[in-house]
Amino acid sequence: MSDDEILKVVQLIDASIPKSCGVAKFRSYGEVALYANREGYLRIAAEMLKCALTNPMSADLHYLFNEDSDFGIDQLTTTEDQLAFFCS
């Protein structure tokens, strides 16, 4: 799949599903469960696809994982060096 095709999918999701319609929550119970409504999973997919195309800092999941979630995702990285930086 080309970058242009991926970008079209992201743009379609962005145009069709307002951020306010997506719901997502992490639950921790010794393991981790992810709940999301249909719109939430599609919004997650759009944000993840943005990481594949651009700087991961352009992707944002904070609006999905609100105070009702046990935790959120603070950083998205595309290199091991970035991961090491955030984990140090």
Flag whether pLDDT at 78 surpasses 90.
no
| 52 or 34, greater pLDDT | 34
Q: Each residue of 38-66: pLDDT tens digit?
A: 999 999 999 999 888 877 667 888 888 87
H/E run at residue 27: strand 24-28
Q: What pLDDT, on the 0 to 100 scale, is given for residue 51?
A: 87
The arithmetic mean of pLDDT across residues 59-85, rounded, is: 87
Residue 78 token pair: 């595309």
Every domain of the chain and the residues it spans: 3-87
Flag whether pLDDT at 77 surpasses 90.
no
Q: What pLDDT, on the 0 to 100 scale, is given for residue 14?
A: 93
